[in-house]
């Protein structure tokens, strides 16, 4: 069967089970969960107000929608949780897990809501959301250069807290300020300084998790296997990760930013061809990524051209960067005036889309305007040929509401073993690709999703193979979905793409810590 047919069959089976279960026991589960939760709060507490929100609550919809970053899942047809639990402490999480098991409700855990396929807040079976937005404390210890960060905090809140304590410390995580710590770290997490310092997950030194039995565990108590699994293997398969102890990294007082834009008419394709092999070999202090888009062009057939935006960040001064760029990319024609020096935290503002002179308080804003989109990912191990690129340019100009972000690897990423964490995409990777397409109306959705799938299929001969790799934090259900009682062999359709040979170890860890598969979703790790 084709991929779409298999997915449709699995989805139909899941929906059938969901409808049957809801009709036979939905009301009983509803009352059972509430009674269990209120009883668990103790004899002096006769209400769960402010913690548990039902569909009849006036706060239910605002809380649900506040962290939905993909508008595809705002539609009324999308299944909604029976309850939203917004814990104020760890006991509330323990109670939610116990009462969910008692009431046969699935659990989804949300920290920032950036799961591209909505798996942190959507399910086709009766479920609750444990939304961690109240648990976002950050405690920094500058003596040992570490921080404890609760999973409900955002990257922006973390960066803000670090900047308030030090001008020469940072953390190697993503650029989007509203991403939740919990999902980002458990999926790997990379950003503008990862070639120098590794992934966010590579810099986690302890964690706190509540397991399927409701037990609170730190690194020592959970053991090294589980600690390994949650740093890149997706935490939602193993429990509720409530906090992370991270290692801060030392950054120079001055970093340098520059931008170069080209199109097909002024050498963009030739520069990109060179970028494929040169960018991954640049010093680890230099991050030079490429973003491909489309703009108008009177000189091109169809009046469209591909635009290549190269953005660089250097951990150092413009004086040191200039000769490096003139030697590596003389085609850019860069001069000292093309560089902007700033602090590391200002570079955070820059890559988050803000003015470098903006108040740092903007990083604390958890609200963003969402859009409807579909995203896919790839890894490239050999340069895409000129023939392959010509075909790519022809495909890109067919769709205006798309972009491709190409992230060079190399640096320290080539030195960390593939098995160090579940994230396997290290040595041998030239660059990673994020494809994304967005739309404004439901009428465009089918067309745009078909286009991005066609683009993905076109690039198959030019990207990594056996497996064709993908990044967990760019979740993609096209790769395969779990059905009832999905086996290890069946889950390899998506598991090997995300984790390569690390997938088997993840399955073994899952079998030990959650053998009944209580923590599950469409792409959760199955027990062996």
pLDDT in tens, 498-508: 999 999 999 99
Strand arrangement, sheet containing 83-85: 52-54, 83-85, 127-131, 106-110
In angstroms, the first-to-last Cα distance of the chain is 25
Mean pLDDT for 356-368 is 94
pLDDT at res. 358 = 96
Decide if 84 contacts 128 (C-beta within 8 A). yes
The segment(s) of the chain belonging to CATH 3.40.462.20 are 255-342+371-460
Mean pLDDT for 344-361 is 97
pLDDT at res. 367 = 87
**Res 410 pLDDT > 70:** yes
pLDDT at res. 443 = 83
State the Cα–Cα distance between residues 309 and 32, nearest whole angstrom. Answer: 55
Mean pLDDT for 108-134 is 97
Query: What's the pLDDT band for 7 if we cut at 50, 70, 90?
Result: very low
Interaxial angle between packed helices 155-163 and 344-351, expressed in degrees from 0 to 180 and rounded to the nearest 10: 160
The residue among 436 and 29 whose pLDDT is bigger is 436
**Res 5 pLDDT > 50:** no
Mean pLDDT for 465-479 is 98
Mean pLDDT for 145-173 is 98
Query: What's the pLDDT band for 15 if we cut at 50, 70, 90?
Result: very low
pLDDT at res. 13 = 37
Beta partners for 109?
130
Backbone angles phi, psi at 365, to 5 degrees: -75, 115
Query: What's the pLDDT band for 299 if we cut at 50, 70, 90?
Result: confident
Decide if 240 contacts 209 (C-beta within 8 A). yes
State the Cα–Cα distance between residues 512 and 297, nearest whole angstrom. Answer: 58
Q: What is the DSSP letter of 232?
A: T
pLDDT at res. 187 = 98
Query: What's the pLDDT band for 400 if we cut at 50, 70, 90?
Result: confident
Q: Considering the chain, what is the average pLDDT of its residues?
A: 93
Q: Which residues contact 236 (CB under 8 A, 6 or more apart)?
A: 108, 109, 119, 120, 186, 519, 521, 524
Query: What's the pLDDT band for 297 if we cut at 50, 70, 90?
Result: confident
Mean pLDDT for 101-108 is 97
pLDDT at res. 28 = 67
The segment(s) of the chain belonging to CATH 3.30.465.10 are 138-251+476-513
**Res 21 pLDDT > 50:** no
pLDDT at res. 26 = 56
pLDDT at res. 19 = 33
Looking at the chain, the whole-number percentage of residues with pLDDT higher than 90 is 88
Q: For the ranges 18-27, 122-131, 359-368, 395-404, which has the lowest average pLDDT?
A: 18-27
Buried b (16+ CB within 10 A) or exposed e, 109-145: bbbbbbbbbbbbbbbbbbbbbbbbbebbebebeeeee
Strand arrangement, sheet containing 216-217: 138-141, 146-150, 240-247, 204-210, 216-217
**Res 16 pLDDT > 80:** no
255-342+371-460: which CATH topology? Vanillyl-alcohol Oxidase; Chain A, domain 3 (3.40.462)
Altogether, the residues listed in the chain come to a count of 528
SS (H, E, C) 264-301: CCCCHHHHHHHHHHHHHHCCCCEEEEEEEEEEECCCCH
User: Assign residue 483 a region: left if phi > 0, alpha if psi is -120 to 50, beta otherwise?
Assistant: beta
Mean pLDDT for 422-440 is 97
Looking at the chain, the whole-number percentage of residues with pLDDT higher than 70 is 93
Domain 26-131 architecture: 2-Layer Sandwich (3.30)
Tell me whether strands 204-210 and 240-247 are parallel, antiparallel or unpaired: antiparallel
State the Cα–Cα distance between residues 520 and 367, nearest whole angstrom. Answer: 28
The residue among 188 and 28 whose pLDDT is bigger is 188
165: Cα separation from own chain's centroid: 27
pLDDT at res. 499 = 98
**Res 47 pLDDT > 80:** no
State the Cα–Cα distance between residues 15 and 28, nearest whole angstrom. Answer: 19
State the Cα–Cα distance between residues 472 and 187, nearest whole angstrom. Answer: 6
pTM (2 decimals)? 0.93
pLDDT at res. 46 = 52
138-251+476-513 sits in which CATH class?
alpha beta
462: Cα separation from own chain's centroid: 24
Buried b (16+ CB within 10 A) or exposed e, 72-84: bbeeeeebbbbbb
pLDDT at res. 409 = 98
Mean pLDDT for 410-425 is 98
**Where would I find the H helices in 103-137?**
none
Residue 358: how many CA atoms within 13 Å on its side-chain side? Answer: 19
**Res 2 pLDDT > 90:** no
Q: Which residues are catalytic?
A: 474
487: Cα separation from own chain's centroid: 25
Query: 517: buried, middle or exposed (CB in 10 Å: 19+, 13-18, 0-12)?
Result: middle
**Res 4 pLDDT > 80:** no
Mean pLDDT for 85-111 is 97
Query: What's the pLDDT band for 12 if we cut at 50, 70, 90?
Result: very low
Query: What's the pLDDT band for 67 if we cut at 50, 70, 90?
Result: very high
Query: What's the pLDDT band for 27 if we cut at 50, 70, 90?
Result: low
Mean pLDDT for 247-259 is 98
State the Cα–Cα distance between residues 496 and 135, nearest whole angstrom. Answer: 33
């Amino acid at each position: 069967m084709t991929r779409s047919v298999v997915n449709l069959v699995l989805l139909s089976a899941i929906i059938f089970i969901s409808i049957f279960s809801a009709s036979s026991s939905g009301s009983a589960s509803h009352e059972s969960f509430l009674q269990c939760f209120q009883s668990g709060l103790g004899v002096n507490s006769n209400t769960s107000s402010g913690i548990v929100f039902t569909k009849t609550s006036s706060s239910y919809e605002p809380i649900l929608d506040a962290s939905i970053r993909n508008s595809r899942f705002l539609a009324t047809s999308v299944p909604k949780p029976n309850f939203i639990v917004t814990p104020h402490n760890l006991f509330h999480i323990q109670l939610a897990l116990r009462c969910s098991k008692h009431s046969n409700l699935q659990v989804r855990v949300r920290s920032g809501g950036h799961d591209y396929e909505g798996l942190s807040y959507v399910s086709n079976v009766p479920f609750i959301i444990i939304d961690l937005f109240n648990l976002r404390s950050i405690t920094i210890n500058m003596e040992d250069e570490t921080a404890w960060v609760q999973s409900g905090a955002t990257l922006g809140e973390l960066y803000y807290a670090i900047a308030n304590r030090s001008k020469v410390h940072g953390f190697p995580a993503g650029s989007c300020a509203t991403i939740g710590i919990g999902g980002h770290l458990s999926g790997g997490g990379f950003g503008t300084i990862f070639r120098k310092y590794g992934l966010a997950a590579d810099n986690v030194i302890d964690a706190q998790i509540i397991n399927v039995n409701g037990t609170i565990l730190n690194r020592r108590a959970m053991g090294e296997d589980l600690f390994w699994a949650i740093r890149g293997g997706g935490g939602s398969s193993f429990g509720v990760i409530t906090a992370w102890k991270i290692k801060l990294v030392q950054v120079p007082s001055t970093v340098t930013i520059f931008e170069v834009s080209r199109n097909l008419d002024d050498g963009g394709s030739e520069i990109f061809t060179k970028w494929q092999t040169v960018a991954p070999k640049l010093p680890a202090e230099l991050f030079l990524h490429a973003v491909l888009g489309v703009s108008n062009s009177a000189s091109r057939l169809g009046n469209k051209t591909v635009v290549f935006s190269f953005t660089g960040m250097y951990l150092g001064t413009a004086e040191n960067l200039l000769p490096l760029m003139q030697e590596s990319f003389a085609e850019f024609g860069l001069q000292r005036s093309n560089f902007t020096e700033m602090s590391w935290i200002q570079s955070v503002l820059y890559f988050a889309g803000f003015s470098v002179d903006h108040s740092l308080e903007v990083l604390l804003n958890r609200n963003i305007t969402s859009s409807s989109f579909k995203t896919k990912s790839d890894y490239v191990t050999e340069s895409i040929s000129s023939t392959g690129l010509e075909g790519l340019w022809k495909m890109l100009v067919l769709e205006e509401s798309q972009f491709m972000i190409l992230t060079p690897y190399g640096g320290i990423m080539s030195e960390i073993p593939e098995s160090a964490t579940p994230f396997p995409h290290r040595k041998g990777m030239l660059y990673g690709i994020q494809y994304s397409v967005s739309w404004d109306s439901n009428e465009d959705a089918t067309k745009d999703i078909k286009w991005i799938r066609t683009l993905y299929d076109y690039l198959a001969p030019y990207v990594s193979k056996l497996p064709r790799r993908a990044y967990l934090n760019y979740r993609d259900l096209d790769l395969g979905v779990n059905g009832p009682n999905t086996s290890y062999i069946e889950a390899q359709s998506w598991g090997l793409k995300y984790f390569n040979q690390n997938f088997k170890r993840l399955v073994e860890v899952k079998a030990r810590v959650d053998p009944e598969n209580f923590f599950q979703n469409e792409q959760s790790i199955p027990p062996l």
